[in-house]
Structure formats: C-alpha cells, structure tokens
Amino acid sequence: MFNKRVKIKTLLAGDKTNFEATVMGWVRTFRNNQFIALNDGSTNNNLQVVTGLGLFDEKILKRLTTGACIKVTGELVPSLGKGQKVELKATAIEILGDSDAEKFPLQPKKHSLEFLREIAHLRFRTNTFGAIFRVRHSLAFAIHKFFNDKGFVYLHTPIITASDAEGAGEMFRVTTLPLDGTAPKNEDGSISFKDDFFGRSTNLTVSGQLEGELAAMAFSDVYTFGPTFRAENSNTTRHLAEFWMIEPEVAFNDLEDNMNLAEEFIRYVIKYAMEHNKEDLEFLAQRLTEEENQKPQAERSEMGLLDKLNFVVDNDFERLTYTEAIEILKESNHNKKKKFQYLIEGWGVDLQSEHERYLVEKHFKKPVILTNYPKDIKSFYMRLNDDGKTVAAMDILAPGIGEIVGGSQREERLDKLTARMAEMHIPAEELNWYLDTRRFGSCPHAGFGLGFERLVQFVTGMGNIRDVIPFPRYPKSAEF
C-alpha cells in the first residue's frame, strides 16, 4: 500500500511532469469542491491536488475535510494556477482517516502560540511547527556529524544518578518508596533509602559531564547528547524542567582549545541548518519579522533572523575576560543611565542576560566568549587560575539570547580539586569514583555544555523555549 508513495517535497523539487504518482498526507484546505491543498510534513509547501468536476462520488468529496488523511494517485502535470509549478490530477482518492471538521482545533486560520501549546499533540501540523521541528532535526543530525567526523566517541551517560554535577540541589527524586509517610526512617527522622530500589538516594541527571570526564580519560574525545532535568521552579520563556544537552569532553585540551572547539562547533551546526533548511528558515524569518512589527519600535530587534545567523557564522568571536567585560559594562552609558534592570556596581556579580546581550549586540557587534570568571560563581570542577580568585571558565554569548554555551578547563590537580570541594561543602566520599580520574593518570582536559533547546530557539527565532521542544515540561505542566 505505502511503498509507492512519493514525498511532496520530492515532487515539488523535481523537473519531471506527466507521470503517475501516489501521494499521502493531510488535507489543509479543500476549495470549490475540486482543489485540495495536501501536506505530508516533508515541506511547508502544499501540493495542489485537482479532483476534477464529476470524477468522484459526492460521499468521498464530503469527507475531504481539514485534517483528514488521504491517499491520492494521479498524474503530475504543470500547474495552470499561480503559486505552484506542478499539481496532481487525481484519478483515485482513498480516505485513510476522517477528521470531523467541526471539532478539529486547527482550522485554516492564524492561531496563537499560547493556544497551540495547549494542543501540542496537533501543533506539528502547522507551518510554524513543521519548520521548527525540521530545523531541530537538522541541528541534531549536524551535531552528531560534527563530532563523528572529528573522531569523537558518542557516550550515553546515565539518566538516573546519585550525583549532582552542578551542586545546585534542584533535582527530581527517583524512588520506589511509598509517598504516604510510611517510608522507613533513620534515627534522626530522615528517610532511609537502604530499602529503596537502588539502595541509596537517586535523582534524574542534571548533567552527563562528570561521567563524560571518566570516558575522556580513556577515549580522549567523547561527547554526550541526551536528556537532562532541573527541578527549578522557573516559569519563564528561557527555562524547561526537561531539556537536551550536548556535552563534549576532551582530554589534553586547555581553555583555548575548548574555545576553539566550541566556536567551530556553533558555526558548523548553524551553517548546516542554513544550507539544509533554507525554506524553513526563510519562513521563520518572515514570521519573526511580522511578530517584531507588532512590537513598539524601542523593543524591536535590530537584526532579522537570517542576519542574526549570518552574524554568528561570518564573524570571529570576540574573546575577553570577565574582568574586562565588567569594566566595559560598568562604564557603559547603559549602566550610568540606569537602563539595565540589574546595575553593574563591581567585580564578582553574575552577569544577567541583559548584560550579555549588551556586550554582543551593542558593544562588540559580534558573538563574544567571556573567560576567567570569579570562582565563587562557578562550579567546583573548574580549574583554579594562578590568581586564586578566578577559574578557567568560558561562556559563549550570542545575539538575542545571551549565553548559549558554558564550559571550562577542568581541575585536574587532586589537591586543588579536593580543597575546592571542601570549600563548597561537596562530600568527597560520594564522588570518590570521580576523584579516581585525578589519582590514576590525570591530565589536562576541558569541555562545555550546550542546551540544545537554547540552540534551536536561537536558530529558529522563537521567543519561548516551550515552542522548540515537542512536549515541554515546566512547572505545573506535564501534558501528553
């Protein structure tokens, strides 16, 4: 039944006409009882199917409603109408799945993103989400291709873990113990996990980095690409409770090597999407322009979507230290005139998105890599610099979004690492396996993390991160 199906994208891209073809897809519209706009998800462009007056039973035509799934066989011919090169003159139509036009939520009109979030199981069928998820696919493929071509080993790190790589404590507990208050207790009243499934307290992973470091000490070059979880009660357009992370880890790399790899990586995957999803990105660029035009002039972005992507692909990234960045921000007119929501008063503060965007969009007008952050605002595993105040960390900042990559050279010296863990109250005995990498053949190594949805958001121009993952998970929402 299905092996003769031709994708609509293939038919629209080809030069051949006057041959028989079978297509399958979902009806977008059916006009004048003879023109079907058919879409199969391979492209945003619909194929016009002409039914021909009097050729088909009225009962079949009545079932050609928006959302119905059909199989059509016919002759592909040059189109006489405007807007398409070819059309299919139907000789046979089979209804594969009916759709009640009265109840189908996606009528042929413009729907708000908020409404579409409520019907995320159907939003794939819209042009906007068709484009977003084809771009998401391309970016995911490009990530694997980039690392594979460089000889990296793809590592699957555990989703259930007993460690908290970030030390933030915002984790989802994994347990089989009863939740009705009858779970076994220790003498101090705390829950005893000895009888739990794993015999200890476990949670969903916040990062695969620590496990990635273990593998880098054997394979040299590894990367992870998998789901991560944060139980952070952030109801914002930038945060998700479940998201995907790309985390390469490379033995014998220092901070500069790490920056070089990250810059090359970002450029590669964006360029790949621009080359392979040209139509989708043009559609999303047009959509973003229309959205920006609804905003007051002062709130509009200076760059269109394609300009923003070219901005990253075509520019060398500006590199400077956190200390230099603080000085620039402190002395900026934006800070002096109190245009920042969070004013920069001195060294040691954690930069906000508004500060990161100022450096990229206003000051340097190119992507920025910041290095050597204060140790007090960074994680325990980052290598302590000789000044004793800063660590060999790096963040890549992009226009419109701020931080897109965070990474560092890791602390390979056992004494420095254990001292840092003690300082941050991280129990060394729980991470004994991690410390073994520093005991047995330690070496300089570095890596970075990239939130995949943040990347997809940047490339598609979507304002809300919930719109770039198929089924978003956030506080009070775990639909589907």
What is the residue whose two structure tokens read 């000051």?
363
Around 198, how many Cα atoms within 13 Å sit in the side-chain half-sphere? 10
The angle that helices 278-293 and 255-276 make with each other, rounded to 10 degrees, is 90
Whole-number pLDDT of residue 169? 61
What global pTM score does this model have? 0.94
- Which range is most confident: 319-323, 336-340, 427-431? 319-323
* Sign of torsion over alpha carbons 378, 384, 389, 392: negative
So where are the chain's domains?
8-106, 127-171+206-467
- Supply the pLDDT for residue 220: 98
Residue 94, pLDDT > 90, answer: yes
Kindly report, residue by residue over 126-163, the tens digit of the pLDDT.
Answer: 999 999 999 999 999 999 999 999 999 999 999 999 88
Angle at 382 between CA 452 and CA 150, to 5 degrees: 50
What is the distance between the alpha carbons of residues 146 and 271, in angstroms, rounded to a whole number?
A: 12
C-alpha to C-alpha distances, 401 to 6, 51, 113, 438, nearest whole angstrom = 39, 48, 19, 36
pLDDT attached to residue 175:
95
Task: Compute how many other C-beta atoms are within 10 angstroms of the C-beta atom of residue 237.
Answer: 12
- The three-state secondary structure class of 426 is coil
Q: What pLDDT does 300 receive?
A: 78
pLDDT digits (tens, 9 = 90+) for 323-380: 999 999 999 999 999 999 999 999 999 999 999 999 999 999 999 999 999 999 999 9
Question: For 208, phi and psi rounded to 5 degrees?
Answer: -95, 10
In CATH terms, the superfamily for domain 127-171+206-467 is: Bira Bifunctional Protein; Domain 2 (3.30.930.10)
Query: Domain 8-106 adopts which CATH fold?
Result: OB fold (Dihydrolipoamide Acetyltransferase, E2P) (2.40.50)
Average pLDDT, the chain: 94
Taking only the tens place, the pLDDT of each residue in 374-383 is: 999 999 999 9
Q: For the chain, what percent of residues have pLDDT higher than 90?
A: 85
